[in-house]
Amino acid sequence: MDAEAELLKTMTADELEAALSAKIESFHGLLTREVALRLIAKEKGMLKEEERDYRLADIPKGARRFGFSAAVKKVWPMATYSSGKRSRVVEVVDESAGGGKPLVLWNDDVELAKSLRSKDEIRVKGAYERGGELHLGYGGMLEVTRKAAFSSLAELNDGETVHLRGAVSAIEGYDSFIRDGKKIRGFSFMLSDGRNERRCLVVDGTARAERLKVGDEALIEGANVSNGNIEIGASTRLLMRRAGEMLLGEIKELRCEDETLKADVGGREVTLGRESALRFLGVGVAGDIALATVVGLKKESLLNTRIAVKIEEKDGQILVRG
The DSSP line for 139-201 is EEEEEEEEPPPPPPTTS--TT-EEEEEEEEEEEEEEEEEEETTEEEEEEEEEEE-SS-EEEEE
| CATH number of the domain encompassing residue 142 | 2.40.50.140
- 211 burial via Cβ count (<10 Å: 0-12, 13-18, 19+): exposed
Which residue among 196, 225, 241 closes a domain? Answer: 241
Q: Is 153 a member of any domain?
A: no
Which pairing describes strands 260-265 and 317-320: parallel, antiparallel, or unpaired? unpaired
Whether residue 186 contacts residue 203, with contact meaning beta carbons closer than 8 Å, is answered with: yes
The residue from 241, 267, 298 where one domain ends is: 241
- In the chain, how many domains are there? 4
The confidence score (pLDDT) of residue 265 equals 85
Residue 102: how many CB atoms within 10 A of its CB? 15
The pLDDT assigned to 152 comes to 86
Question: Would you give the distance in Å from CA 96 to the centre of its chain?
Answer: 21
Residues 83 and 63 in one domain: yes
Residue span of the structural domain in which 92 resides: 52-146
Looking at the fold, whether 140 and 66 belong to one and the same domain comes out as: yes
Q: Report pLDDT for 171.
A: 93
The verdict on 260 and 293 lying in the same domain is yes
Type of residue numbered 264: D
Closest to 195 in 3D by CA, of 137, 259, 156, 152: 152
Q: Can you spell out the DSSP letters for 86-130?
A: EEEEEEEE-TTT--EEEEEEEGGGGGGGTT--TT-EEEEEEEEEE
**Is the same domain home to 237 and 171?**
yes
Res 40: pLDDT: 87
Query: Of 241, 259, 285, at which residue does a domain stop?
Result: 241
Q: 209 with 222, same domain?
A: yes
Residues 16 and 72 in one domain: no
pLDDT for the residue numbered 191: 93
Q: What is the pLDDT of residue 316?
A: 67
Residue ranges, the chain, pLDDT below 50: none
Same-domain pairing of 280 and 215: no
Stated as kind and residue range, the H or E segment containing 33 is helix 33-43
